[in-house]
Amino acid sequence: MLKDRVAIVTGSSSGIGRVIARELARRGARLVLLSNESIRILEALEEIRHLSPDSEAYEADVSSRPCVTEAVNLTLERFGRVDILVNNAGITRDNLVMRMKEEEWQRVMEVNLHSVFRLTQMVLRPMMKARYGRIIHITSVVGHTGNAGQGNYVAAKAGLEGFAKSVALEVASRNITVNCVAPGFIRTAMTDKLNSKAREAILARIPLGVAGEPEDVAHAVAFLASAEARYITGETIHVNGGMYMG
């Protein structure tokens, strides 16, 4: 259980992030939701408070240092600590590398990689003072397999795993673990828009033969955030139905 643990989840107003937040709340954590979706984040907070009444939501663009600094400071003022950080926020700007605009590369890096550095750096001081912390990055199967048309996204997700290992080495002596969860083909509103031919082609690459559910990812995150995972750090849990076996 995660009773009374304080957890920040980025990109938690919708999709996988919202399900992760809900699962952590169900296990007793107090949630701080971060998202730039002003209406959806309030809807998500209303849902979360049915499970964890003592939860908050802050509208924030994770690619903006002032925004995330304010959000972390508000969290520390409200709760006095941060026990769990889940870096889930991410975007895509797909294009072939030879056609990719500099802005498409930079924007994906800002949201998917640079924001993780900033947030991780900000929560490390209170975690080290408390001698406890769980940091979890949501990466992707394509960080291991590559994916045509997603050079920026793949580079960012692969970078997260290297970053996690380095930070894990730096903070292990303070009882802080840093791990990744790498989803494969997960059923979301975005994947539901795929046509049947594209969907069948992806499913054909998955030994279990079905798409994953957001809850599958959330369960892996909740495990890494729990006491049961105290001896796991610098690792990546793959949630992909066998699509990639590292």
The whole-angstrom separation of Cα 231 and Cα 187 is: 30
Q: How far apart are the first and last CA of the chain?
A: 29
Q: Out of 58, 132, 153, 231, which one is annotated catalytic?
A: 153
From the CA atom positions of the chain, what is the Rg in Å? Answer: 17
Whether the CB-CB separation of 17 and 88 falls below 8 Å is answered with yes
Task: Outline where the chain has alpha helix (H).
Answer: 15-26, 38-51, 65-79, 102-109, 115-130, 142-145, 151-171, 196-203, 214-225
Task: Give catalytic status of residue 153 as yes or no.
Answer: yes
Q: Which residues are catalytic?
A: 153
